[in-house]
Amino acid sequence: MRGRFLQTPEAMAGTAILVLLATMALAAPLIFPGDPLRIAGPALVPPFQDWTLPLGTDRLGRDVLAELFHGARTSLVVGLAAAAASLAVGAVIGTLAGFAGGLADEALMRLTDAFQTVPGFLLALAFVSIVGPSLSVVVMAIALSAWTGPARIARAEVLSIRERDFVAGARVVGMHPLEIAFREVLPNALPPVLALSSIIVAQAILIEAALSFLGLGDPNRVTWGGMVAEGRTVLRTAPFLSIVPGIALVVTVLGVYLAGEGAVESAAVKKGLS
């Protein structure tokens, strides 16, 4: 499967970007030990001037490269955690709704509709400004709006799976309905739900960046969105401070999308062959 997955150039590029990002994130504390927000040199050193500070410094004299590496950690952690949380919540709710049917289905799906009609970013914005900004709150805020997609897809899959013979078999054997739902049905409904993960990760990274840009990120952590916001005050004199983290965001989201596309395509090919 791996060979097939890496066959398309897009998937290869996406994977390469993600591997690079993961390496950056994992290596950040080794290459740039200590607090990346500490003051490392004079303020506003432009990039490529001083080789101890390759990407220059920001308005307080903090090392932009160190911030970039540590920012990769935040972005990836938020992206993956938010995706994991929303997939888990979405899959469970979707499965329950689809499997139980009737009133429970109706109630859960209307709840999903309610969440879906509120723009995800606004929901996250409101949640963070009420609870207060910290990394876990940001992850929850993003998951709060992102679980609806997985829930709907999981329900649709479950609706077809629950009519299959093996489910009827499980009923006859006398398994508890919840056991059937989560041990027999959910695992089979999962693949199409997982295909959503790349979109959710990419969206989560962008929402986190936007929240940080608006000053609603965790102020004790470096985030790319926060870096863009800081750079905005000196946009005319030191545009690199906004451009560098901006490029990092674009590349990351692109990498996640490409890798996700590749995974979905290779899964489709596999399904077609089998």
Partner 1 sequence: MPDFSLSRRSLLASSAALMASTALPRFAWAQTPKAGGRLVVAADSEPRNLNPAIVASNGVFFVSSKVIETLAEADYTAKDQLAPRLATSWEGAADGRSVTFKLREGVTWHDGKPFTAADVAFSALEVWKPLQNLGRTVFKDLEAVETPDDHTAVFKFSKPTPFQLVRNALPALSSVVPKHLYEGTRIEENPANNAPVGTGPFKFAEYKAGQYYRLEKNPAYWEKDQPYLDEIIYQVLPDRTSAANALEAGEIQLAAFSAVPLADLERISKVPGLTVVTKGYEGLTYQLVVEINHRRKELANLKVRQAIAHAIDKNFVVKTVFLGYAHAATGPVPANDPQFYTPDVETYPFDVAKANALLDAAGYKKGADGTRFSLRLLPAPYFNETKQFGDYLRQALAAVGIDAQLVNNDSAAHIKAVYTDHAFDLAVGPPVFRGDPAISTTILVQSGIPDGVPFSNQGGYKNAEIDAIIEKASEELDAEKRTELYREFQKKVAADLPLINVAEWSFTSVASDKVRNIANNPRWAVSNWADTWLAE
- Nearest CB to partner 1, comparing residues 117 and 237: 237
CB of 238 to partner 1, least distance (A): 8
- Nearest CB to partner 1, comparing residues 14 and 217: 217
CB of 133 to partner 1, least distance (A): 6
Site for partner 1 in 146-205 (CB under 8 A): none
Contact, 222 vs 37, CB < 8 A?
yes
Site for partner 1 in 220-249 (CB under 8 A): 220, 232-238
Count of residues near partner 1 by CB under 8 A: 22
Write the CA distances from 131 to 74, 81, 86, 147, 200, integer angstroms. 19, 18, 19, 20, 23
Residues 6+ apart with CB under 8 A from 1: 266, 270
Contact, 234 vs 44, CB < 8 A?
yes
- Nearest CB to partner 1, comparing residues 160 and 233: 233
CB of 249 to partner 1, least distance (A): 21
- Nearest CB to partner 1, comparing residues 229 and 259: 229
Contact, 139 vs 147, CB < 8 A?
no
x-marked contacts with partner 1 along 118-147 as a string, rule CB under 8 A = -----------x--xx--------------
- Nearest CB to partner 1, comparing residues 60 and 104: 60
Instruction: State residue 194 phi and psi, 5-degree precision.
Output: -65, -25
CB of 267 to partner 1, least distance (A): 42
Say how far apart CA 182 and CA 173 lie, in whole Å: 16
Angle 192-198-200 (CA atoms, 0-180°, nearest 5)? Answer: 95
Q: Is 41 in the site for partner 1 (CB under 8 A)?
A: no
- Nearest CB to partner 1, comparing residues 187 and 219: 219
Residue 247's closest CA among 233, 261, 231, 263? Answer: 231
Say how far apart CA 105 and CA 95 lie, in whole Å: 9
Write the CA distances from 89 to 115, 144, 150, 205, 239, integer angstroms. 13, 9, 8, 19, 41
- Nearest CB to partner 1, comparing residues 125 and 175: 125
Binds partner 1 by CB under 8 A, chosen from 41, 61, 101, 192: 61
Residues that bind partner 1 (CB under 8 A): 35, 37-39, 43, 59-61, 129, 132-133, 215-216, 219-220, 232-238
